[in-house]
Structure 1
């Protein structure tokens, strides 16, 4: 169940960030709509990776962030590739890089806060 919270909170957080960056005001319709747009890539790309990494949980582990960053670049490459006008280069779009990093950071933070528990040190 906590996996669902991570996905939902990440999508909601990215929706708020998107609204601040591009809408410049608090509009409920924009927040809800963008939350759905961010929800599905998180479900497809980040959630399976999260299941795999929870076999050895570590809070705020840099390697986990790199994994999320790689998955985020792939997801954003697909999404921006579909939505980008045909004459423009994907890699010249600064929004591509901004959202690739932001989506990875947001998911990594929520994953670390909600799921990645430190195992107690065993006494020898």
Structure 2
């Protein structure tokens, strides 16, 4: 909400906070998974993509549970939950496949 306000300093702080949360999510969930999956070293593997999807579903559920504990099970009825999980998995899988080196 602050990003759309006319006050630029609040918008910059909000963007910094969003970037910080994205970095924490990446460091906690994606980096260990990338290290584990790089043992097999296959680019654009469908199995790796399915593993990324499973981890993304659990990570998004965990963050939803932390934000809204009494309504945690209602997340499965939310279309945004599935979109966020699949898009996050696709982004991490895609970048991991591009930067995978032999």
What's the TM-score once normalised by structure 2's chain length? 0.77
Q: Which runs of 4+ in 1 moved over 6 A?
A: none
Q: 1:77 matched to which residue of 2?
A: 61
1:105 aligns with 2:86: no
Within 1, Cα distance between the matches of 2:18 and 2:61? 18
Q: Does 1:90 align with 2:65?
A: no
What CA RMSD, in Å, does the superposition of the two structures yield over aligned residues? 2.2
Instruction: Indicate the structure whose relative CO is greater, using CA pairs within 8 Å and at least 6 residues apart.
Output: 1
Secondary structure of 2:70's aligned partner: coil
- From 3, 9, 15, give the equivalent of 1:31: 15
More helix by share: 2
TM-score under structure 1 length normalisation: 0.65
> Unaligned 5+ residue runs, structure 1?
1-22, 120-124
| Equivalent residues, number | 94
